[in-house]
Structure 1
């Protein structure tokens, strides 16, 4: 039954795309990622924008002869990293502080579906908008502590108890196309809002009256990603 359903969707897509202007766009880029931690925001925490990489393929489908309106589904790999520095009271020295650094690196399969609006002759400009779904297939988390009473660790991400695998959100962006014979070179910039939380639960470490303590919060942490990529469009018809 699954085979027949798959063949049905392939035939529908093939029929729909026949006669349209189709391009396959391999793309490669860099991103910077941060997370919105509303519940634990503090003057004693400093979250840094963290770099990552992205790569994938887009199917560029022109829906009219002038290619002013385009649908572009994509399948991408996205590495999202995060670093948060927590400034804590030291248990060893009075009136002194210490820093605990929390890091995470997650690897996502990302599927956005973008509506593109193009304008210009020769060199073309566009803006795009659309939803995106992401699935984390691997990851690691680290904690670096110079405070002996708070442990350091480097371990695989626990998707059963601590992290959510899925994320969904919205993308808005734009770019430029430079014609090259029957193809074109693309420079693309976009911003992504994640609507689902990164953490199922999260421990925030602290020192109280010289003793370590841990506060569990969650769910929290929604991604905010800026991506800059380049691509080269290959005509399929």
Structure 2
């Protein structure tokens, strides 16, 4: 552990020595989160738009005098909301809707490489990896079918949800000179690699009106679009 801390300190010192300009960027925004269920049975469900908030801070470290190549580590809070409607047929073939809702709170740590161009008003695109850790959350189920019990409970990270996620970020934006800093508009997409669920039980009513229950394994990878605004303040 001590060796890792020393190596990290040396790396930060070297970056600080190479940096031409450093800005700190407080930022806030909205995200839209969906789950990619692949070829599983959950892919037949309908996901609805359910935005969440995001907020955090980044360090904008220019590695050349013209600020064309920038290293940008960040630490962010992300609320990931999701609503999924499961449609099935009950007795007399009436349509039944089972709504599953979840709100999960994540700490995200992206490390982005940013490429800038333009004079005055500047444009950029960025890309890089991101690590996410779930701090907590809740999940809720609402059903038209009285035999399927509704619930509203804390998210179970021991048996149901994976707490960590790795993802790739890609995006871009525009920054406008404002006083001593820059006003930054940023849009990015996150492609998660780790499944959201460890396993879960899905309850449905079949065409004959019988209640069925299916246990599904790991599935559901995060796909997140985030739009944010920030202000870059010079530190040196």
Category of TM-score, reference length = shorter chain? over 0.9
- 1:228 and 1:66 mapped to 2: Cα distance? 26
- 1:50 and 1:83 mapped to 2: Cα distance? 7
Report the equivalent of 1:112.
110
C-alpha change, 1:126 and 1:219, in structure 2 (3 Å) is: same
User: Is 1:214–2:217 an aligned residue pair?
Assistant: no
C-alpha change, 1:8 and 1:224, in structure 2 (3 Å) is: closer
Aligned-residue CA RMSD (Å): 1.5
Deviations 1:98-127 (A, max 9, x none): 100001110000001000000000000000
Deviations 1:14-64 (A, max 9, x none): 342135210000000000010011212455x21112200100010000010
For normalisation by structure 2, the TM-score amounts to 0.94
Gaps of 5+ in 1: none
- Please tell me whether the aligned partners of residues 37 and 43 of structure 2 are also in contact (alpha carbons under 8 angstroms): no
For normalisation by structure 1, the TM-score amounts to 0.94
Deviations 1:73-105 (A, max 9, x none): 000000101111011222xx4121110000111
User: Is 1:169–2:195 an aligned residue pair?
Assistant: no
> How many angstroms does 1:9 deviate by?
2.9
Report the equivalent of 1:130.
128
Q: How many residues align?
A: 233
The 3-state SS of whatever aligns with 1:14 is helix
- 2:4 and 2:128 mapped to 1: Cα distance? 26
Report the equivalent of 1:98.
96
- 2:57 and 2:9 mapped to 1: Cα distance? 18
Gaps of 5+ in 2: none
